[in-house]
Amino acid sequence: MDPDVLRDDMVDSLEHEAKAVVSSEHVSVAMREVPREPFVDDESAAYADRSFERFGTRVLSPSAAGRLLEALDVEPDHDVLVVGAGVGYTAAVIAEIVGEASVHAIDITRRLVYDARSNLASAGYPGVLVDCRDGARGLPDYAPYDRILLEAAAANPPQALLDQLADDGHLVMPLGVGAQELVAVDADGDEPTAEFGTVAFQPMLVEGEQADTIERNRTRREDREHAQRDAQRRKGWEQSWINWDEQL
């Protein structure tokens, strides 16, 4: 089937009262324009409302992306920073609204940065800047931003991101460690200015936790390696998974 038709069907379903995750004209039009095929491995399921895994990160489902974009409330004249760019899909939709030159994206995992750049170029948005940075530090080079989208959970809004907001800007992020709430926070960061329901995102990574890097916590790594070697040296009667009482 024609991808344009599939995109229209996808957005129609997101606008329908059964899901009701897309309501603004900006987001609706943009999601109808941006192809999803470059951002997923399974092109045949690109417009299914489901998430995918790619290079150790989650490619958001259309519903999840729609919720983030509606909460972000982007206007055509905004400058936007996406923290946790992943494969680049949400950055592409934002670029469709505000223009490529007004979107900056960062990710702590270098492999994802390269992937996002390639995906965005394939989708028709090569002008989106994607850089490898620690998300908690943001991208001060191009601040201030009218909107910052953090696509990872944190217990508190990172202060560096709040410092990079314009006076009337806001940060949208999943707030919490266990239970998470999608919230908007202004530059003061004291209390959320808006809440958009519960979500479940992976926690924001810090340097050394990327899937494609060497683990930096030597003690944790060595403890795990010692445990693995001990398990391999055990005799059959020492293995904890054998219930010898049942064998007799």
Query: Which CATH number belongs to the domain containing residue 122 in this structure?
Result: 3.40.50.150
Pairing status of strand 80-83 against strand 103-107: parallel
Work out the mean pLDDT of the chain and round it to a whole number. Answer: 88
Instruction: Flag whether 226 is in a domain.
Output: no
User: What's the CA gap between 230 and 206, in Å, rounded?
Assistant: 30
Q: Please check the confidence at residue 246 and state whether its pLDDT lies above 80.
A: no
CB of 240 within 8 A of CB of 234? no
**3-class SS at 29?**
helix
> What is the structure's pLDDT at 55?
79
User: What's the CA gap between 100 and 191, in Å, rounded?
Assistant: 31
> What is the structure's pLDDT at 58?
85
Residue whose token pair is 């050394």: 208
Please state the pTM of the whole predicted model. 0.83
Instruction: Flag whether 62 is in a domain.
Output: yes
Q: Please count the structural domains in the chain.
A: 1
Cis bond before residue 35 (omega within 30° of 0): no
Which of 69, 102, 109, 105 has its CA nearest to residue 88? 105
pLDDT digit string, tens, across residues 133-156: 999 999 999 999 999 999 999 999
- Dig out the tokens for 123 from the structure: 């989708």
Instruction: Flag whether 243 is in a domain.
Output: no
Instruction: Flag whether 204 is in a domain.
Output: no
CA end-to-end distance (rounded Å), the chain: 62
Instruction: Flag whether 219 is in a domain.
Output: no
Instruction: Flag whether 232 is in a domain.
Output: no
Structural domain harbouring 171: 3-199
Residues 6+ apart with CB under 8 A from 70: 21, 22, 23, 24, 27, 196
User: What's the CA gap between 58 and 245, in Å, rounded?
Assistant: 44
**Full DSSP string of 111-135:** HHHHHHHHHHHHHT-TTSEEEE--G
**3-class SS at 248?**
coil
Return the active site residues. Answer: 61
Instruction: Flag whether 208 is in a domain.
Output: no
When pLDDT is averaged across residues 173-182 and rounded to a whole number, the result is: 92
pLDDT digit string, tens, across residues 65-97: 999 999 999 999 999 999 999 999 999 999 999
Instruction: Flag whether 127 is in a domain.
Output: yes
